[in-house]
Structure 1
């Protein structure tokens, strides 16, 4: 399969990105290829097989915050250059002395790089970097010609992947309308991208949108709101398990709104997701019905995970759920670990609290 076709397939089926990058490395005579989000690896990265250790150290040792190559490279391509290489960006002395090269690149066994900007999503940019190990020649004109031949297709595939992921996020917002849950889609800069009609009904004196950003005139409310937005927009690799994920937003003449922050990007393969998270708003004074299909889509639960979540929301314990579905308690606990990860909860009580804020689940058929 030509490398360009592999990229188009990966744009539709995200699980195929690693294979596409492996093929690209072979076609471009490189030792590895990486697609990542900039700055700060906001939504993660994708890498070919031989870049595994490189990417792990890039993140774990904090080099993503000191990536001078990305800073200079993006400035270079924004001047109209399609591809940047080390030789375009640094002097020979810098290549030997800069900590990024001396302490990191050299230590990983790599040396040479060529990079391009694939797509700009406003709050973040998606970049392509192609790597060669030490002892090989740098990327010269003949190498760059091969890459430039395929680059337009890679860029189109990246734009297609970005549109597909954004459509998924926007679909979540609209589908939550069916369960009378307010939903506000937030980008990586904390700006409002989209909200459904239920969320719009909550906008007023207590909750406002000013210059595409959510605000409250009440100081305490505003702090709560910004903490929740920060929980959504933290870079994937910097998220903390103790981040604030839900709070009450007090209103002057009505019951407080319950607001829950739900990060959309949960794994590195979601690098093309331009939306950072959802804020879910519910009014405790309103009756709501649960749309199990929406809950399943929103948290990407398997059928087994959905049944277990619903059982907990009904007040059943682990053993009762196991007996009801003819499975072992250990199997229920195994599924619970996955449910906690997908819903950003840490224990059963927190999961039940989240589901109850959305609505009381009906019987599953």
Structure 2
């Protein structure tokens, strides 16, 4: 395994572009692997005490990673012993820490050889909020990575670590903008990273999550253990199902003493390729059935081109009042009310009171 310095320089030049176009991360990682002379490359992350998972990998490692998960090597990865020197040095060559005897006879390396993988180069690309390791997997048929290529490996590590921090900062700004927009709409929202941990809440959500219904250590704690388990199960489905619409995901009830339960609905945004470098990848929108939604007249006027008079009458119709009631209580001629209602139905593309009520019920601005 020897690095091609010119190809590596070209591959690293693509990293900055991938920060702003997440779909380019996988081909960029593949280019870095090829330039390094590696069989493949992947990004690993801790999945619990002593366990690891693959966050992103090149396609030629798919078979290896499927076997890795199937045989549960994530909980007994021999390379876990390399973490202390990796955290100190930033980059380690596996061959410097594993004996020839271990390479030849340990069950872990026998497993790796089945997929043509020998030793590796490990790089710590962790940020302040994410623990991640970039791994160049060497072919078993190639010589071990050489110490004189260490400057190249450090260059890869520095570029990826900087990109990770920048990408997360950019994505955090986007998420904060979304949270502010939901706050303006009086909607509570909670954002989560790919591990299911809370990354951000808006003030509306903070006001709803009090007492026994709370967020503790990055996790939502419901009134009961059963509701907490249901919440986490649906959140996991949302995180693991890219492209799935919010309508396909179940709503979760969150009980509150003395009040009707809150309703949490999950939505995923982004793609798996971007998740490794993202601040958040899913959110829960929180509805409070006890809260009356106060539609702003200017919103209806802007959305449906209603006149001020039509706007006032549309709100009365949506609340359940009949044309007769509106005419009597507000001193408007009955035929005038009927004319306004016909215009309202036409402009809102509805045909009866229930449809108008349902439409207005979906507007939160």
CA RMSD, Structure 1 to Structure 2 (Å): 3.7
1:75 corresponds to: 84
- The one of 247, 258, 276 aligned to 1:253: 258
Aligned length, in residue pairs? 288
Structure 2: distance between partners of 1:131 and 1:283: 50
The answer as to whether partners of 1:162 and 1:272 remain within 8 angstroms in 2 is yes
- The one of 135, 148, 167 aligned to 1:161: 167
Structure 1: distance between partners of 2:10 and 2:216: 48
Structure 1: distance between partners of 2:154 and 2:36: 10
Q: CA deviation at 1:271?
A: 1.8
Structure 1: distance between partners of 2:104 and 2:33: 25
- Secondary structure at the counterpart of residue 135 of structure 1: coil
Distance 1:173 1:276, change over 3 A: same
The answer as to whether partners of 1:17 and 1:46 remain within 8 angstroms in 2 is no
- The one of 232, 235, 239 aligned to 1:232: 235
Query: TM-score under structure 1 normalisation?
Result: 0.66
Q: CA deviation at 1:162?
A: 2.6
Distance 1:269 1:132, change over 3 A: same
**Structure 1 stretch displaced more, 11-20 or 48-57:** 48-57
2:334 corresponds to: none
Q: CA deviation at 1:90?
A: 1.9
Distance 1:226 1:141, change over 3 A: same
Tell me whether 1:132 sits opposite 2:138 in the alignment: yes
1:118 corresponds to: 125
Taking the TM superposition and a 5 Å limit, the aligned residue runs for 1:171-182 are 171-182=177-188
Q: CA deviation at 1:231?
A: 4.1
Cα displacement string for residues 18-62 of structure 1 (whole angstroms, at most 9, x for unaligned residues): 221232123322222222333379885333343343334334544
Q: Which structure has more RCO (C-alpha within 8 Å, separation ≥ 6)? A: 1
Structure 2: distance between partners of 1:84 and 1:199: 44
Q: CA deviation at 1:197?
A: 1.8
Structure 2: distance between partners of 1:186 and 1:288: 26
- The one of 9, 13, 16 aligned to 1:8: 16
Tell me whether 1:205 sits opposite 2:211 in the alignment: yes
Structure 2: distance between partners of 1:211 and 1:128: 27
Distance 1:284 1:100, change over 3 A: same
- Secondary structure at the counterpart of residue 132 of structure 2: strand
The answer as to whether partners of 2:188 and 2:286 remain within 8 angstroms in 1 is yes
Larger radius of gyration: 2
Query: TM-score under structure 2 normalisation?
Result: 0.66
Cα displacement string for residues 271-297 of structure 1 (whole angstroms, at most 9, x for unaligned residues): 22354642321112334499xxxxxxx
Structure 2: distance between partners of 1:121 and 1:229: 25
Q: CA deviation at 1:187?
A: 4.7
The answer as to whether partners of 1:282 and 1:358 remain within 8 angstroms in 2 is no
Structure 2: distance between partners of 1:247 and 1:278: 13
Structure 2: distance between partners of 1:269 and 1:152: 19
**Structure 1 stretch displaced more, 155-164 or 51-60:** 51-60
- Secondary structure at the counterpart of residue 23 of structure 1: helix
Structure 2: distance between partners of 1:211 and 1:33: 32
Tell me whether 1:48 sits opposite 2:58 in the alignment: yes
The answer as to whether partners of 1:86 and 1:112 remain within 8 angstroms in 2 is yes
